[in-house]
Amino acid sequence: MKILSIDTSTQVGSVAVLHDEKVCAEVSYQTKSSHAEVLMGVIEEALKKAILIGRVAQDFSPAGSVGRSKDLRYKAGLDDIDGIAVAIGPGSFTGLRIGLATAKGLAIATGKPIVGISTLEALALNPPQPPFFKGGGGGIIVSCINAYRGEVYCRIPSPLGPRPSCSSGGGEGHLPAGGSVAGGEGADVTCECSITPEALCDILCRGGAQSPPEFLFIGDGAIHYKDLFKERLGKRFKLTKGDRFPIAAEVGLLALPRFREGRVSDIITLAPNYIRKSDAELKL
């Protein structure tokens, strides 16, 4: 399965080409203007960098020996892609629209299926995984994107127990329309919401002594509010290294099982997950 994966959720955009679980190429960039100015060029660059492997049959020898297959390495082209994955948010409203529109256009032009993936879920795959945590694997990863207006988009992981209200300590939160990913009765729940950093800390610590021993934060929201998180969470607050987090490869890896199982997105109804209303909508 060959996947072209696109992320334009934040100012750091990225494009990746995957062949099954192998990342053949990933190109990241940073823009302060518009993803529309550079995205198609980055897609072309990623395709040029990707080296795919196929198997071809060797010719039979004059003596009539049995032919054998061999690996053939070749540069990727758009026609080689089997599916298109795209991050659908939350994140920059404009960036998400550009990324999704581009992904849909490519899917329509090539007749290939498309899968939308949560930006926060992909971001959670980016840092080192447990046993990175000193607490013996008892920590959790908190993906956190700056939502501005004093809030962050965050993914509150299931080990914290039942679905939080995303409203705590006087900080109002916003749940995505239709709810978040959940299982059946008694299942673990992961909540994605827009919330103040103070309220996020309250939710993370609501278990008291039963709370996870460490929180590994990743994302520009974690960097922006690192002093507040450090003050509220103390030594339990851990911050991933670096300040750029390209996640196109992770988006592709998350989309892979969905492509294989036929759980693709409907190209007509697939839409960005903004989580909260835009400033223009709030003023209406």
Taking only the tens place, the pLDDT of each residue in 41-58 is 999 999 999 988 764 445
User: Average pLDDT of 91-116?
Assistant: 97
Q: What is the mean pLDDT of the chain?
A: 82
- The residues near 121 (Cβ < 8 Å, ≥ 6 apart) are 143, 155, 254
Q: What residue type is assigned to position 234 of the chain?
A: G
Taking only the tens place, the pLDDT of each residue in 145-168 is 999 999 999 998 765 544 444 433
Q: How many other C-beta atoms are found inside a 10 Å radius of the C-beta of residue 65? A: 9
Fold for the domain defined by 2-56+64-119+245-283: Nucleotidyltransferase; domain 5 (3.30.420)
Per-residue model confidence (pLDDT) at position 154: 95
Fold for the domain defined by 127-239: Nucleotidyltransferase; domain 5 (3.30.420)
pTM to 2 decimal places? 0.82
Q: Where are the domains of the chain?
A: 2-56+64-119+245-283, 127-239
Q: What residue type is assigned to position 272 of the chain?
A: P
More confident position, 187 or 197? 197
Beta-bridged to residue 55, according to DSSP, are 71
Q: Please check whether the two domains, 2-56+64-119+245-283 and 127-239, share a CATH topology.
A: yes
| Confidence band of 169 (pLDDT split at 50, 70, 90) | very low
Per-residue model confidence (pLDDT) at position 174: 47
User: What is the length of the chain?
Assistant: 284
More confident position, 243 or 275? 275
More confident position, 94 or 138? 94
User: CB–CB of 82/3 below 8 Å?
Assistant: yes
